[in-house]
Amino acid sequence: METLIPEAVRSRHQQQRSDYQRDPHQRPMGSGLELNGQRRDGTTFAVEVSLNHFAVNDQRYVMGLVSDVSRRRHAERALQRTNQELEQRVEQRTAELKQAEQSVREALEAEKELNSLKSRFVSMASHEFRTPLSTIMSSVDLIARYAEGPQKDKVERHVAKIRGKVRELTTMLNDFLSLDKLEQGMVRCTPQEVDVVHLCIELVEELRSLCKPGQEIDFDHEGHDRVVVQDKQMLAHILSNLLSNAIKYSPENELVLLRTRLADGSLTIEVSDRGMGIPKEDQQHLFERFFRASNAFTVQGTGLGLNIVRKYLDLMGGHISFTSEPGQGTTFVATIPQHVTHEAHPADRG
Ligand code: ADP
């Protein structure tokens, strides 16, 4: 027997054989032992051994079956290696994923921080810029009052120019502030009774100063009723934005029409002009933040006005649409419920 056993374990095997003779028992193939056999040339190979004993004429015999399992063992080792590799790869991928998750979290934090910084800057800058602007405006008013003598006309012309520019700047700053507040979710509808006709006349009067020579705003209201229960400031902002755009984007000597209609529980505001119109390819982007049509670059603006208008309309439960022919004019139509029914939140539409 011992010639089949690797030299290193031969002596131990003799002992094991005597032990077995003393207490013979059946041992199935394999049974968890890693055994090796030895070839004539001294090389070893994996084997499995089963043991059985039996008696013939009171003579005990032991039968051992030895099978060469080196190919199976080889396959098992290969499988084990593959499993280890797979486990390593899973560990590596998990670590990579954790790392990626961490980077995304850090980027998100940085983004939040940047956003809050932007927000604080916009709010601070807008507030701080408005104070000197209002001082400039009051001094300009005083200069206009004191201007006498042969240069009076020139002084008045320049004073009007300064007033116009200060107003433009103030509107811009107000737009930045409004948008920031809207995006922070800080704006709420405060409904109150508003006389639409009264509000429109007031605004038309105010906006007349923006008109170019020969431009007129023509206002008409349809319907017996003229009172809505809505947020007055938002309503005024929408009207004033649509009207100032109509004035800005149309030439001298052209009419701007403002039509309001109050019927069946809703207020319709229509503002039309005979101005430059909006190129067809730009129309789908008109309500996006900072978007300005390709033909508008000679006119001052930020591209925020209509975005704010739409966000206010969302809050008021209203909506807006427009039709425009390049070179011929544009009509905006906003519809708002007569009574604010719910406090909608502005959809996040960029
Ligand atoms: P702003 O006028 O400050 O640029 P708005 O958000 O009010 O920003 O308008 C976005 C763009 O829509 C404008 O830049 C302009 O290209 C276009 N637009 C708006 N109203 C009119 C109009 N009445 N006629 C032609 N183009 C208009």
The answer to the question of residue 63 being in a domain is yes
* Residue 148, pLDDT score: 83
Note whether 130 and 168 are same-domain residues.
Answer: yes
Q: Are residues 162 and 235 both part of a single domain?
A: no
CA of 303 from ligand 1 middle (Å) equals 7
Q: Is residue 130 part of a domain?
A: yes
The pLDDT assigned to 346 comes to 44
What is the per-residue pLDDT for 282?
A: 96
Identify the residues whose C-beta falls under 6 Å from ligand 1.
241, 245-246, 249, 273, 275-278, 286, 291-293, 296, 301-307, 330
Q: Is residue 214 part of a domain?
A: yes
User: Which tens digit of pLDDT belongs to each residue from 298-309?
Assistant: 998 889 999 999
How far, in Å, is the centroid of ligand 1 from the Cα of 255? 17
Please tell me the distance from the alpha carbon of residue 145 to that of residue 21, in angstroms, as a whole number: 130
pLDDT tops 90 at residue 7: no
Residues 112 and 132 in one domain: yes
> pTM for the whole thing?
0.68
Distance from Cα 294 to the centre of ligand 1, integer Å: 10
- Coil, strand, or helix at residue 252? coil
Whether residue 341 has pLDDT greater than 80: no
Three-class DSSP category at 123: helix
Determine which residue's CA is closest to atom 20 belonging to ligand 1. Answer: 245
Together in a domain, 24 and 46 = yes
Q: In terms of domains, do 128 and 204 share one? A: no
Q: How confident is the model at residue 94 (pLDDT cuts 50, 70, 90)?
A: very high
Please check whether residues 239 and 309 belong to one and the same domain: yes
Domain membership of residue 90 (yes or no) is no
Residue keyed to tokens 């910084």: 117
What is the mean predicted confidence (pLDDT) over 138-162?
Answer: 87
What secondary structure letter does DSSP report for 41? T
Q: For residues 178 and 199, state if they share a domain.
A: no
**144 and 277 in a common domain:** no
Task: State the distance from the centre of ligand 1 to the C-alpha of 119, rounded, in angstroms.
Answer: 24
Q: Based on the structure, what is the number of domains in the chain?
A: 3
Q: How far is the CA of 248 from the centre of ligand 1 (A)?
A: 8
The enclosing domain of 242 has a CATH number of: 3.30.565.10
Range of the domain at 126: 104-183
With tokens 């739409």, the residue in question is 310
Residue 108 lies in a domain: yes
- pLDDT the model gives residue 191: 94
Distance CA 211, CA 251 (A): 9
Q: The CATH number of the domain where 18 resides is what?
A: 3.30.450.20
Among 51-55, 68-72, 339-343, where is mean pLDDT lowest? 339-343
Q: 292 alpha carbon to ligand 1 midpoint, in Å?
A: 6
Distances (CA, A) of 39 to 8, 36, 64: 14, 10, 17
Q: Show the tokens assigned to 108.
A: 């998100």
Instruction: Say which range, 38-52, 64-78, 231-245, 335-349, has the weakest mean pLDDT.
Output: 335-349
Residue 141 is assigned to a structural domain of this protein? yes
Q: What is the residue-averaged pLDDT of the chain? A: 91
Model confidence at 232: pLDDT above 80: yes
| pLDDT, tens only, 12-64 | 888 888 888 888 888 777 667 789 999 999 999 999 988 899 989 988 888 88
Q: Which protein residue's CA is at the shortest distance from atom 7 of ligand 1?
A: 305
Domain boundary among 148, 183, 218: 183
Instruction: Judge if 345 and 206 occupy the same domain.
Output: yes
Q: How far apart are CA 200 and CA 346, in angstroms?
A: 25
Residue 85 CA, ligand 1 centroid: distance in Å: 62
pLDDT, position 349: 39
Residue nearest to atom 2 of ligand 1 (CA): 301
CA of 201 relative to ligand 1 center, distance in Å: 23
Closest Cα to atom 19, ligand 1: which residue?
A: 245
Q: Which atom number of ligand 1 is nearest to the Cα of residue 172?
A: 3
Q: What is the CATH number of the domain that holds 112?
A: 1.10.287
**Nearest atom (ligand 1) to Cα of 332:** 23
11 pLDDT tier (thresholds 50, 70, 90): confident
Residue 264 CA, ligand 1 centroid: distance in Å: 30
The upper half-sphere exposure of residue 335, i.e. CA atoms within 13 Å in the direction of its Cβ, equals 7
Q: Which of 168, 174, 179, 278 to mutate to test the pocket of ligand 1 (most atoms within 8 A of CB)?
A: 278
**Per-residue pLDDT tens for 260-298?**
999 999 999 999 999 999 999 999 999 998 899 999 989
Residue-wise pLDDT tens digits, 113-132? 988 888 888 888 888 888 88
- 222 plus 161 within the same structural domain: no
CA distance linking residue 255 with residue 216, whole number of Å = 5
Mutate-to-test residue for ligand 1 from 281, 292, 308, 323, highest number of ligand atoms within 8 A of CB? 292
Contact 50, 39 (CB under 8 A): no
**Residue 348: predicted pLDDT:** 40
- For residues 317 and 146, the model is more confident at 317
Residue 152 sits in the same domain as residue 27: no
* Res 293: pLDDT: 96
Whether residue 218 sits in one domain with residue 303: yes
pLDDT of residue 116: 85
Chain center to CA of 176: 19
Residue 282 lies in a domain: yes
- Residue 301 domain flag: yes
Residue 350 is predicted with a pLDDT of 36
Mean pLDDT of the 147-158 span: 86
